[in-house]
Amino acid sequence: MSNATPLRSELVVDGKRLEVARFGGDPARAAVVLLHEGLGSVAMWRDFPDLLAARTARTVVAYSRWGYGASEPLDGPRDIRYMHYEGEVVLPALLAELGLERPVLFGHSDGASIALIAAGARPGLAAALVLEAPHVFVEDLSVSSIESARISFGATNLRERLARYHNDPEGAFRGWNDVWLDPRFRDWNIEAYVDTVTCPVLVIQGDRDEYGTLEQVARIVRGSGAESLIVPGAGHSPHRDAPEAVLGRIAAFLDSHVREGG
């Protein structure tokens, strides 16, 4: 495992300042770009980017979306189609700024949905997708767990814990929670993007995921022919709950499906 200090920088993308970090790897191989979960950030990946870079021998790039981590804070409520905008506009612009052509997109939760939108909207953008705990439609389980998170934010030390990872924990939380609990969001669905993805896809989900059922995986597999890894005993973050199983499967998947320079 590499313990090199990541290269940190800031980029202005779509008029917003975003924090970016690069970890290790071979620049001649397709990079892996990490898209964090709905309450995630560069810092919240913890040691996973370094572990992934070491296991795959690839450069790993993590960034915090607008409103998260050390990126520019939100200036108002998010639109309920913000994941579409992130996937169709912001992510392609970010990749262009970074000079990354056909990277592997690894998304977690909301980040997985954004990666799927990006690859579905722009076939050829990604060499492969790794989707961890993705959402392609809204389930009662998701809404119930997100309602519980709202209660916890007001009644526990969740705000203080999020402050370890976000300069504006209130904005990061509200920007995620308010959208998912907006009644209009119940009709959100991105299954149409699954049908237009042309690159190889690996879907990873814990069988105890508190934010989504295995029907999310089933619909992606049916629509794209994706491979899947269901991690026994893991919750919403299998990369933290079972890192060896997840890292091993990702490395094997990329070795099998990503043709360097192709």
The dihedral through the CA atoms of 244, 248, 254, 255 has a sign that is positive
DSSP 199-222: S-EEEEEETT-SS--THHHHHHHH
pLDDT above 80 (res 140)? yes
Residue 151, in any domain of the structure: yes
d(CA 36, CA 42): 8
pLDDT above 50 (res 249)? yes
The residue with tokens 């997840």 is 246
The CA-atom distances, in angstroms, between 244 and each of 12, 55, 84, 241 are: 35, 10, 32, 9
Reported as a pLDDT band with limits 50, 70 and 90, residue 147 is very high
List the alpha helices (DSSP H) in 8-157. Answer: 48-56, 82-85, 91-98, 110-121, 140-155
Residue 2, in any domain of the structure: no
Residue 34, in any domain of the structure: yes
Task: With CA atoms as reference, report the closest residue to 4 among 41, 68, 49.
Answer: 49
Task: With CA atoms as reference, report the closest residue to 109 among 240, 257, 249, 254.
Answer: 240
d(CA 260, CA 152): 45
Number of domains in the chain: 1
Residue 51, in any domain of the structure: yes
Instruction: Give residue-wise pLDDT tens across range 167-216.
Output: 999 999 999 999 999 999 999 999 999 999 999 999 999 999 999 999 99
pTM: 0.96
Residue 58 per-residue DSSP state: B
Phi-psi bin for 145: left (phi > 0), alpha (psi -120 to 50), beta? alpha
Residue 262, in any domain of the structure: no
Residue 189, in any domain of the structure: yes
Buried b (16+ CB within 10 A) or exposed e, 96-129: eebebebbbbbbbbbbbbbbbbbbbbbeebbbbb
* Mean pLDDT value of segment 117-144: 97
Residue 87, in any domain of the structure: yes
Reported as a pLDDT band with limits 50, 70 and 90, residue 6 is confident
Task: With CA atoms as reference, report the closest residue to 193 among 131, 133, 96, 123.
Answer: 123
Two tokens at 187? 């009709």
Instruction: Give residue-wise pLDDT tens across range 77-108.
Output: 999 999 999 999 999 999 999 999 999 999 99
pLDDT above 80 (res 4)? no
Instruction: Give residue-wise pLDDT tens across range 20-67.
Output: 999 987 889 999 999 999 999 999 999 999 999 999 999 999 999 999
Residue 250, in any domain of the structure: yes
Query: Could you tell me the residue range of the domain that residue 249 belongs to?
Result: 7-257
CATH assignment at residue 81: 3.40.50.1820
Reported as a pLDDT band with limits 50, 70 and 90, residue 1 is very low
CB 180 within 8 A of CB 113: no
